[in-house]
Amino acid sequence: MRSAPAVAVLAVAVALATAAGGWWTVPLVAALWARVTPIRRPVVGAGAGGALGWTLLLGWTALHGPVTRLAARVAPIFHAPAWALLLATLLYPALLAGAAAGVVRPRRRWDARAVA
Amino acid sequence: MIVGARRWRRGLAGIALVALTAAGAVGLGPLPPAGPLLDPFGGLWAVATTAEPPSRSRARLPGLGAPVRVVYDDRAVPHIFAATESDAYRALGYVIARDRLFQLDLQARAGGGTLTELLGPSLLPADRDTRATGFRRAAERILAGMAPSSAARQALDQYVAGVNAYMDGLGRRDLPLEYRLLGRRPARWTAADPIYVYLQMGRTLAWSGEEFTRLAAAARAGRAAADALFPVHAPLQEPIVPAPHEPRALADTIPPPGAPDSSALLAAETMPRVPSGSGFGRAARDPDADAPGSNNWAVAPRRTRNGFALLAGDPHLDLTLPSIWYEAQLAAPGLDVYGVTIPGLPAIIIGFNRDVAWSFTNTQADVLDYWRETVDDTLRPARYRVDGSWRPLETRLETYRDPRGRVLATDTLRFTHRGPLRRTAGRWLSFRWTVLEAGDLAAPLQRAAHARSAREWLDAMAPYQAPAQNMLVADGRGTIAIRSTGRFPRRPGDGRGDLVHDGGSSASDWTGAWPVSEEPQSVDPAQGFLASANQEPVDPVVNGAYLGADWFSPWRALRINQLLRADSSVTPDAMRRWQTDVASPRADRFAPFFIAAARAHAGDTLLAHAADVLARWDRRHTAGAAGATLFERAMDNMGPRLFDELSANGLPSAMIASRLLDEPDNVWWDVRATRTVERRDDVLAASLRAAYHALGAEHGAPERGGWAWARVHRANVPHLLRLPSLSAVDLPPPGGPSTLSPSEGAGDNGSSWRMVVELGPEVHGWGTYPGGQSGNPASTHYADYLPAWVAGRLDSLRFPHSPTQLRPSATLLLEGAR
């Protein structure tokens, strides 16, 4: 499977799962995705998919409320600029998804022949 | 080799996954769990989606008799149109929970002593103070005293049901920001929670300890001096109930410092700690602080330009975001009222209906007395002695829990027939406080909201008990009236409550309460206006009965009355301007003496400069006034110098210092630490010199602009959790100490609600408060009133007869469960 469509699929899955079940679904979805999706760099792909999934959700939220105003008010509580809070929101699912993908053994590994 | 590297990478990924999941689930140190916080759909960011109410929404509110229509105006004020009064109160609970849920929770927890369950063990001292003050027991008793079928209890239950209905429907995306930061959820309300909010208000307004201030002074300077420095009657009289020949100064003399009183010292050491550990209570009051103070005044039609009665009110309280106040209109058959309510209390506290307007100031009455008790065991008493026999102590066990429900501590509380018993400095003191014994605060207000005249309103408020308030009312027929209303204890003997009583005798117990007819009051006075500003209500020449001993200096009262006397054609706009008046009668009294003292020291160039700065000042706390800054700093310096015989924590008020200004050789002016004998001008000059020197060091030369009042003193409106980014800080000050629009200290206290009402054929109100209707920091209505408050403007308050008279910014239809 080509990487970009696979990452897009993961992003949509992460977004839907987060909306339905919460943040903890991110590693589950990423692990499942990494297990069944044959792409060359699943960890990177999962990280990208996780970040993209939450970007979609954040974008949807921004359409319904003043996300930047909220960031400006809340980020200083953590002694951080507003952009850092936004960045953390995208980085966290990326790390979660990437780590989850790194744990699972892909069903079909692109590098299997190299090992053999 | 490759397989090994892969295993190694997988192991690292596993460790990372565990760490990230742990950070997501339980948080790191003070940080909340990252997962639910950062979740862009249901976490922190969802707060943005609830910033503004949807333009049209419907919600279920089980228990409603009929649908309730809530129309929000352009200021986000809900206008609640209901078929019955009980439906209106149920809807009020719902809409306040929607806008101010965290505040509701926090205030109730502060009054119920359960802050640790929300904020953690650091709040344990505050909770212990609250419970030892008897709040939980009092709430149980107040509730038990309300008949289940009474209108008051039903309104309470309706309100609580409204709050809980909102919480029951609370989705993952609706949780207020503060809960997300804390990683907590709100707890469902019980009928006790509004009572806790009320008790918390009682603590803010009616907790006093003048007994111990006087004892501390007696311990250092003798009882005669202490009685004169902390007098029962205000030495400067501009009372609430008008009397001829006022303002005037009482002619009492202040005796010189006497020998320390060792028995007073012993008694003063038993001073109970004021429950202030949380920051939600109040510390012992600075005698010259104007907080929590308030103003209200009313003008009869014959002294107004439009020929209608006018009423103004501005309670001065701690400023917070969100504000202590929440505006609302309640409309139901027989009820149509607009004003501000305190989130958690099912009533409009200050406001107006179609015929009557009202506002309050705190009476400052002494409604709290202490008794020294003899107990059978100094550590774990079970009995106390009264009239020669032992009586059993009532006990109750209080348990404190952390947010996870784990027990943090337990306390055994004890109560005499008078009230809570507390051990301080090895001695046992009980106290009796009307706040703990009052009925429901909201019930009289609910009845008064129906009043058609000032007289009806006063009659409805007659059962009101605590915290005692100077209740000002005006009506459309032109009547203006004021009454200091509350339960004022009758005491045996000379009736004084400013001394610690002997608990061994029941003869020292309260014997009853003042009848309403004896409460200080005035209806339609000949002068055509009425005003109160926390000053002594009645001139002691007219009625010398002991009502209290903790009167505010009457500087604000002097100024209001000065303005009212000078204007016989008052307009609503004049009332508005006076609410933000920054002239200082206190400076009018003291500044000339500072200037004269400085000029008496010829050749002292620094003092000459200081005198020039003060002389150029118009004695108004305007933004650019360098003189205001110098004057306030000099006043701060003068107190400890003048009263160096006393503890710096218990200095007399500026009223006493004002008396001493006329006695330049009084021995109180002498500074004991020096070998020379100082006189008045020496102390004033030294205070002014120190002020000038310090300000120069801090802000440069005065002509460079650094001394401007608004540069040195700022107003601040902190968030309830004191989070700076959710606070409004560093605002221009609305005034200065003791001006009608006060600002002092940390600048976080002042006019918490300003209202002007004209009672014409169609009542018209104007108002604002430092904040906004929404408790959501992302909302445009979080602090949108602040610019008007800072500028001294008032918004026109919309008071429609029906929902169709309003252009809504949002509507909410509340329907009962099918």
DSSP state of B619: S
B200 within 8 A of B131, measured Cβ to Cβ: no
Nearest to B436 by CA among B177, B50, B651, B130: B130
Which residues in chain B have their CB less than 8 angstroms from residue A57's CB? 40-41
Q: Identify which has the larger pLDDT, B14 or A105.
A: B14
Distance between A20 CA and the closest CA of chain B, angstroms: 9
- pLDDT at position B258, please? 87
- For residue B290, pLDDT over 90 is answered with no
- pLDDT at position B276, please? 39
- pLDDT at position B285, please? 45
Nearest CA in chain B to A64: B49
| DSSP assignment of B255-268 | PPP----HHHHHHH
Task: Give the angle subtended at the CA of B459 by the CAs of B458 and B461, to the nearest 5°.
Answer: 65
Q: What's phi and psi for B811, nearest 5 deg? A: -130, 150
Over residues B343-356, the mean pLDDT reads 97
Peptide bond into B292 cis (omega under 30): yes
Which residues in chain B have their CB less than 8 angstroms from residue A27's CB? 17, 20-21
- pLDDT at position A1, please? 58
CA A16, CA A66: separation in Å to the nearest integer?
22
3-state secondary structure of B209: coil
Chain centroid to Cα A111, Å, comes to 24
Give the one of A24, A54, A73 whose C-beta lies nearest to B40's C-beta: A54
Which residues in chain A have their CB less than 8 angstroms from residue B47's CB? 65, 70
Quick one: pLDDT band at residue B282, thresholds 50, 70, 90?
very low
Determine contact: B62 vs chain A, CB below 8 A. Answer: no
Nearest CA in chain A to B46: A61
**Complex confidence, ipTM:** 0.92
What is chain B's mean pLDDT, rounded? 92
With CB atoms and an 8 Å threshold, state whether B34 touches A92. Answer: yes
Write the CA distances from B314 to B138, B361, B493, B668, B752, integer angstroms. Answer: 29, 8, 37, 37, 7
Q: Identify which has the larger pLDDT, B499 or B810.
A: B810
Q: What is the maximal distance between C-alpha atoms in chain B?
A: 104
Strand B368-373 vs strand B427-433: parallel, antiparallel, or unpaired? antiparallel
Burial class, A40, CB count within 10 angstroms (exposed 0-12 / middle 13-18 / buried 19+): exposed
Residue B264 lies in a domain: no
Distance between A104 CA and the closest CA of chain B, angstroms: 8
Nearest CA in chain B to A58: B40
Over residues B46-60, the mean pLDDT reads 94
DSSP state of B374: -
Q: Which of B20, B26, B720 is the best residue to mutate to test the A interface, defined by the most A CB atoms within 10 Å of its own CB?
A: B20
Residue B692 lies in a domain: yes
With CB atoms and an 8 Å threshold, state whether A89 touches B40. Answer: yes
Q: What's phi and psi for A17, nearest 5 deg? A: -65, -40
With CB atoms and an 8 Å threshold, state whether A99 touches B14. Answer: yes
Sign of the torsion formed by the C-alpha atoms of B50, B403, B201 and B714: negative
CA A101, CA A104: separation in Å to the nearest integer?
6
Residue A46 lies in a domain: yes
B192 within 8 A of B344, measured Cβ to Cβ: no
pLDDT digits (tens, 9 = 90+) for B758-796: 999 999 999 999 999 999 999 999 999 999 999 999 999
Chain A residues within 8 angstroms (CB to CB) of chain B: 15, 18-19, 22-24, 27, 43, 54, 57-58, 60-62, 64-67, 69-70, 72-78, 88-89, 92-93, 95-96, 98-103, 105, 111, 114-115
- Written as one letter, the residue type at B4 is G
Give the one of B10, B35, B41 whose C-beta lies nearest to A57's C-beta: B41
Which residues in chain B have their CB less than 8 angstroms from residue A110's CB? none
Over residues B352-378, the mean pLDDT reads 96
Quick one: pLDDT band at residue B613, thresholds 50, 70, 90?
very high
**Per-residue tokens: B484:** 């200091």
Nearest to B281 by CA among B425, B487, B404, B131: B131
- For residue A78, pLDDT over 70 is answered with yes
pLDDT digits (tens, 9 = 90+) for B737-762: 999 999 988 889 999 999 999 999 99
What lies within 8 Å, CB to CB, of A89 at 6+ separation is A54, A58, B38, B40, B45
Residue A23 lies in a domain: yes
Q: Which of B199-203, B441-445, B545-549, B664-668 has the lowest mean pLDDT?
A: B441-445
- pLDDT at position B279, please? 30
pLDDT digits (tens, 9 = 90+) for B216-234: 888 888 889 998 999 999 9
- pLDDT at position B559, please? 96
Over residues B718-742, the mean pLDDT reads 94
Distance between A2 CA and the closest CA of chain B, angstroms: 23
- pLDDT at position B292, please? 63
- pLDDT at position B245, please? 79
Determine contact: B17 vs chain A, CB below 8 A. Answer: yes
Which residues in chain B have their CB less than 8 angstroms from residue A51's CB? none
**Listed residues B707, B739, B765: the one ending a domain:** B707
Q: Tell me the sheet residues that pair with B513.
A: B489
Determine contact: B256 vs chain A, CB below 8 A. Answer: no
pLDDT digits (tens, 9 = 90+) for B373-411: 999 999 999 999 999 999 999 999 999 999 999 999 999
**Listed residues B707, B727, B746: the one ending a domain:** B707
DSSP state of B346: S
**Listed residues B655, B690, B707: the one ending a domain:** B707
With CB atoms and an 8 Å threshold, state whether A74 touches B177. Answer: yes
Over residues B236-257, the mean pLDDT reads 86
CA B496, CA B547: separation in Å to the nearest integer?
8
Q: Identify which has the larger pLDDT, B810 or B282.
A: B810
How many domains does chain A divide into? 1
Half-sphere exposure of B618 (CA within 13 A, CB side): 8
Q: Which of B106-115, B335-344, B436-445 has the lowest mean pLDDT?
A: B436-445
- For residue A51, pLDDT over 80 is answered with yes
Give the one of A67, A70, A95 whose C-beta lies nearest to B20's C-beta: A95
CA B559, CA B539: separation in Å to the nearest integer?
18
Distance between A41 CA and the closest CA of chain B, angstroms: 13
Q: Identify which has the larger pLDDT, B264 or B338.
A: B338
- pLDDT at position B268, please? 66
With CB atoms and an 8 Å threshold, state whether B41 touches A75. Answer: no
pLDDT digits (tens, 9 = 90+) for B92-134: 999 999 999 999 999 999 999 999 999 999 999 999 999 999 9
- Written as one letter, the residue type at B201 is M
- pLDDT at position B658, please? 93
- For residue B278, pLDDT over 50 is answered with no
- pLDDT at position B254, please? 87
- For residue A111, pLDDT over 70 is answered with no
3-state secondary structure of B395: strand
Q: Please give the order of strands across the beta sheet that includes B501-502.
A: B394-401, B407-415, B420-424, B427-433, B368-373, B501-502
Q: Identify which has the larger pLDDT, B573 or A38.
A: B573
Chain centroid to Cα B186, Å, comes to 25
- For residue B319, pLDDT over 90 is answered with yes
- Calculate the dihedral angle through the C-alpha atoms of B524, B526, B527, B530, rounding to the nearest 10 degrees: -20
Residue B63 lies in a domain: no
Q: Which of B103-107, B249-253, B594-598 has the lowest mean pLDDT?
A: B249-253
Over residues B12-19, the mean pLDDT reads 92
- For residue B465, pLDDT over 50 is answered with yes
- For residue B248, pLDDT over 90 is answered with no
**Residue A111: how many CB atoms within 10 A of its CB?**
11
Give the one of A60, A100, A111 whose C-beta lies nearest to B17's C-beta: A100
pLDDT digits (tens, 9 = 90+) for B640-670: 999 998 877 788 989 999 999 999 999 999 9
Helix ranges, B39-113 (H): 46-49, 85-112
CA A40, CA B656: separation in Å to the nearest integer?
85
**Per-residue tokens: B376:** 């059978």
B752 within 8 A of B321, measured Cβ to Cβ: no
Which residues in chain B have their CB less than 8 angstroms from residue A114's CB? 2
With CB atoms and an 8 Å threshold, state whether B726 touches A43. Answer: no
Quick one: pLDDT band at residue B497, thresholds 50, 70, 90?
confident
A96 within 8 A of A50, measured Cβ to Cβ: yes
Distance between B667 CA and the closest CA of chain A, angstroms: 53
Write the CA distances from A106 to A37, A46, B2, B415, B582, integer angstroms. Answer: 8, 12, 15, 70, 75
% residues pLDDT > 70 (chain B):
96
Distance between A21 CA and the closest CA of chain B, angstroms: 9
How many domains does chain B divide into? 2
Q: What's phi and psi for B129, nearest 5 deg? A: -60, -45
Residue A114 lies in a domain: no
Q: What is the maximal distance between C-alpha atoms in chain A?
A: 56
Cβ-based contacts under 8 A for chains A and B: 127
Quick one: pLDDT band at residue B260, thresholds 50, 70, 90?
confident
Nearest CA in chain B to A79: B725
- pLDDT at position B442, please? 81
- Written as one letter, the residue type at B519 is E
- For residue B251, pLDDT over 90 is answered with no
Residue A116 lies in a domain: no
For chain B, the residue count is: 818
What lies within 8 Å, CB to CB, of B213 at 6+ separation is B230, B284, B287, B650
What lies within 8 Å, CB to CB, of B714 at 6+ separation is B729, B730, B731, B732, B733, B747
B786 within 8 A of B728, measured Cβ to Cβ: yes
With CB atoms and an 8 Å threshold, state whether A76 touches B24. Answer: no
**Residue B449: how many CB atoms within 10 A of its CB?**
24
CA B125, CA B113: separation in Å to the nearest integer?
10
Residue B633 lies in a domain: yes
Nearest to B425 by CA among B634, B258, B270: B270
B716 within 8 A of B319, measured Cβ to Cβ: yes
- Calculate the dihedral angle through the C-alpha atoms of B188, B194, B200, B201, rounding to the nearest 10 degrees: 140
Q: Which of A111-115, B252-256, B648-652 has the lowest mean pLDDT?
A: A111-115
CA B431, CA B374: separation in Å to the nearest integer?
14
DSSP state of B304: B
Residue A22 lies in a domain: yes
CA B596, CA B192: separation in Å to the nearest integer?
58
- pLDDT at position B283, please? 36
| DSSP assignment of B557-615 | HHHHHHHHHH-SSB-HHHHHHHHT--B-HHHHHHHHHHHHHHHHSTT-HHHHHHHHHHH
Which residues in chain B have their CB less than 8 angstroms from residue A93's CB? 38
State the residue range of the domain holding B678.
585-619+626-707
Chain centroid to Cα B666, Å, comes to 37
Give the one of A43, A67, A73 whose C-beta lies nearest to B45's C-beta: A67
3-state secondary structure of B778: coil
Write the CA distances from B704 to B491, B502, B586, B628, B733, integer angstroms. Answer: 58, 60, 27, 15, 20
Which residues in chain B have their CB less than 8 angstroms from residue A73's CB? 725-726, 777-778
Which residues in chain B have their CB less than 8 angstroms from residue A28's CB? none
State the residue range of the domain holding A60.
3-108
Name the strand (E) or helix (H) holding B124: helix B124-132
CA B668, CA B673: separation in Å to the nearest integer?
13
Determine contact: B26 vs chain A, CB below 8 A. Answer: no
Residue B375 lies in a domain: no
DSSP state of B450: T
Nearest to B65 by CA among B39, B92, B84, B37: B84
Which residues in chain B have their CB less than 8 angstroms from residue A76's CB? 724-725
Nearest to B24 by CA among A30, A26, A45: A26
Distance between B20 CA and the closest CA of chain A, angstroms: 6
Which residues in chain A have their CB less than 8 angstroms from residue B43's CB? 23
- pLDDT at position B74, please? 96
What lies within 8 Å, CB to CB, of B394 at 6+ separation is B414, B415, B416
- pLDDT at position B265, please? 67
B274 within 8 A of B427, measured Cβ to Cβ: no
Over residues B474-479, the mean pLDDT reads 98
Over residues A32-60, the mean pLDDT reads 93
